[in-house]
Amino acid sequence: MKKILIYLLTFMLLISFTGCGAKEKLEEKVAEKVFEEAGGGDLDIDGDKITIKGDNGDKVTFGDSKWPTSELAKNIPEFKDGTVSGMMETTDSIVITLESVQEEDVLPYWETIKKDFPKDVYEMIATDFITVSGYDDEGINVSLVYMSEVLTITVTAPQ
């Protein structure tokens, strides 16, 4: 229980640093050291991008405002009709959030992706709300959820 509280407090500290736009190296190093001493693994803060590497080699990156470049991300084309406002990436999943996206730009992007993810396609399209998904032959899933000028793209690899 004590370890969970330490993780939560450390996470809140990290969010407060990035939320205020604090990019000072000293603050980053202090947060990294506190997290590592709490047993949370290896932490790297680079501006708004936070990467946590666990003892088992797993890595989680979040807070970045750039399109991901991992092998998993290469399964889909970059969506260029919006602004990346957040990204979280692990070995087997990616979640990208984009803002300032127009509804008319989502469906053409989906039609491009759907060619490579034609299995178990699900589409629900309504005014101001779109949710679509599909799988490829390797079991990789892509889903898009659009609402109120925000598009969330999720890519997951099979476990």
**Rounded to 5 degrees, what angle do the CA atoms 86, 16, 57 make?**
60
Q: Could you give the CA distance from residue 66 to residue 49 in angstroms, rounded to a whole number?
A: 9
Q: What pLDDT sits at residue 5? A: 46
Q: What is the pLDDT along the chain (159 residues), one digit of tens a residue?
A: 444 445 555 555 555 655 555 445 555 555 555 555 555 566 666 666 666 676 666 666 667 678 988 899 999 999 999 999 988 888 889 999 999 999 999 999 999 999 999 999 999 999 889 999 999 999 999 999 999 999 999 999 998
Q: Which residue has the tokens 């509280």?
A: 5
Q: What is the pTM of this model?
A: 0.69
CA angle 116, 65, 30 (to 5 degrees): 135
| pLDDT for the residue numbered 66 | 86
